[in-house]
Amino acid sequence: MESKIPKLDMSLEVMNEIHNLQRDISFLNQRVKVLEDEVGVVDGDMREVRPEYLKKLDEIEKGKFYRFKTVEGLRKDIENF
């Protein structure tokens, strides 16, 4: 009785290529994990906002805006913030 499962006749070269691909995929998976962890750290750092900025943003959301007569006045306000 013949087996219904076809025989695979892979050359050593093909098997080595498959092994290399598996190794490369494993390496890439490790690098993706490291990059995801680094992005998570950066994302966490970016969410920290100084309280002074939060206060100004809150005032802006309430519709409180600042007017400056000159650009120099605006620069001084920014520098002294």
pLDDT of 42-79, one tens digit each?
A: 766 666 778 888 888 888 888 877 788 899 988 988 88
Supply 77's token pair: 């306000």
Same domain for 62 and 81?
yes
Supply 15's token pair: 């098997």
For 3-19, b where at least 16 C-beta lie within 10 A, e where not — what string? eeeeeeeeeeeeeeeee
Is 21 inside any structural domain? yes
If one counts the domains in the chain, the total is: 2
CB atoms within 10 A of CB 68: 11
- Number of residues in the chain: 81
For the chain, how far is it from start to end, CA to CA, in angstroms?
87
Amino acid at 38: E
Confidence (pLDDT) at 77: 84
Same domain for 81 and 55?
yes
Domain that holds residue 21: 12-48
pTM for this entry: 0.42
Is 6 inside any structural domain? no
Is 4 inside any structural domain? no
